[in-house]
Structure 1
Amino acid sequence: MTKAIKLLTALPPPQRERLMALAREVSFPEDARIFESGGAADRFWVIRSGAVSLDQQVDDLRRVTVAGLGAGDLLGWSWLFPPYRWDFGAVAFSPVRAYEFESAAVLRLCETDPALGLTLVRSVAEVLAHRLEMTRGQLREQYALHRRTMF
């Protein structure tokens, strides 16, 4: 299994500095809903401390946690792809401190600095590939557990 990529450390220092110039520090209390699936994805965060759960609504009453994120992790990638809507929901599992980035400002920066834009998109793609690999592993485990309980 590949190692999780940390977005800010993946960027070379000059590019990281340009991106960080757009950041603002935010915090979320434990149990705060950060965003809801289907909502407008107009920003993203890099978690500084704390834990965030990504979840999916499966019916009117239940949400299922699909991933947990912690320090250094990217929270939110839907801002990069049309239709710019969150694919999952996110809730603070503990008090969270994060850097928040408005997507419009980051996309403008990427247009004026194509090298930064390419590095950022590649880094986000690596994050997504890692999360897909993790999800695939979880599905295999669930399938194996289900097969053992059926037979």
Structure 2
Amino acid sequence: MTVLPTGHSELLMRQARYVSFPQDTRIFEEGDPADRFWVIRSGAVSLDMYVPGRRRIMVETLGVGDLLGWSWLFPPHRWHFGAEAFSPVRTLEFDGHAVRALCDDDPALGYALTRSVAEILARRLEVARTKLIDQYMRHGGPGL
């Protein structure tokens, strides 16, 4: 992930608040409005997605230092995955509306943050794609 310049990190940290989630808590559901994001300070969160006709598929596990949630940044601001606390989790929580307003006021911050989130997004989509192909092949998909 691209590291934000110090001044930009300080601006964002002014928006942060500490939030905890007990183990097995659903943090958000795929398709629901996305209005915030978190940086994981301790614990683990599983990202999942619903596959019609099947159960939820775990796509990835996030841990300390990982960004939880990117859908707040891009319209239509709806979660593309679901998330559940795999263990007790402590986070820094950020209000998506407030951070987008900061980005509008400071285009350099907006660019740096968008680039950082886009790098995470690209990696997570590749992980999800690989996981879905694996699930498809394991559960009756045609051979290649």
Unpaired stretches in structure 2, ≥5 consecutive residues: none
TM superposition score normalised by structure 1: 0.83
Name the structure 1 match of 2:58. 65
Aligned-pair distance for 1:137?
Answer: 4.5
Q: Against the structure 1 CA distance between its residues 81 and 74, is the aligned structure 2 distance closer, same or farther, given a 3 Å change threshold?
A: same
Give the helix-richer structure, 1 or 2: 1
Name the structure 2 match of 1:128. 121
Name the structure 1 match of 2:82. 89
Between the aligned partners of 1:31 and 1:122, the Cα distance in structure 2 is 31
2:111 is paired with a residue whose SS is helix
Aligned length: 141
Equivalent position amino acid for 1:71 in 2: V
The more displaced of 84-93 and 124-133 is 124-133
Aligned-pair distance for 1:61?
Answer: 7.0
Equivalent position amino acid for 1:22 in 2: Q
1:1-151 maps to which residues of 2 (within 5 A)? 5=1, 10-59=3-52, 62-138=55-131
The more displaced of 28-37 and 135-144 is 135-144
Q: Against the structure 1 CA distance between its residues 146 and 91, is the aligned structure 2 distance closer, same or farther, given a 3 Å change threshold?
A: closer
Q: 1:49-83 CA deviation, whole Å, 9 max, x = no partner?
A: 11000111224772111111111111111111111
2:72 is paired with a residue whose SS is helix
User: Percent identity of the aligned residues?
Assistant: 62
Unpaired stretches in structure 1, ≥5 consecutive residues: none
1:78 is paired with a residue whose SS is coil
